[in-house]
Amino acid sequence: MNAYDEYMKGIVTPMREELVQTGFTELKTAEEVEETMGTVEGTALIVINSVCGCAAGLARPAVREALQDAQQKPDYLFTVFAGQDKEATEKMREYFPEVPPSSPSIAVWKDGALAYFIPREQIENSEMEQIKDHLSEVLDQVCQK
């Protein structure tokens, strides 16, 4: 591993851990994405993570808090890391081709299809509380049993 890769790993590791510690399964390869998405039944919350400030200050905290607040929880929590695990991110984006690539972003998956999508534009121009409330409402609607 070269010095740049080592440096980036040091920076990115806490950003990865923030979601993993919340219960997310990190998908790092295209194969992991394909295997996972091919077998998912029910609902899933998918976060396309990023190193940017709006991921750190808005998206990840909003996701964590929304999961605490939502009455209805998704069956699965998945994340891919844009700019780090490029093949995994590209493969995940193939599952919702109707939306342009965006990171960070938040997808809600239900019964084999994209049920809801929050793009970067709705993250970077919002307050964390707004994103959290929005996502909590979406989860409560989409994840009803």
Active site residues: 52, 54
Contact 118, 131 (CB under 8 A): yes
| Residue 99 CA: distances (Å) to CA of 5, 35, 66 | 30, 22, 22
Q: Which amino acid is at 17?
A: E
Read off the tokens for 83: 């700019």
Angle 8-13-133 from CA coordinates, rounded to 5° = 115
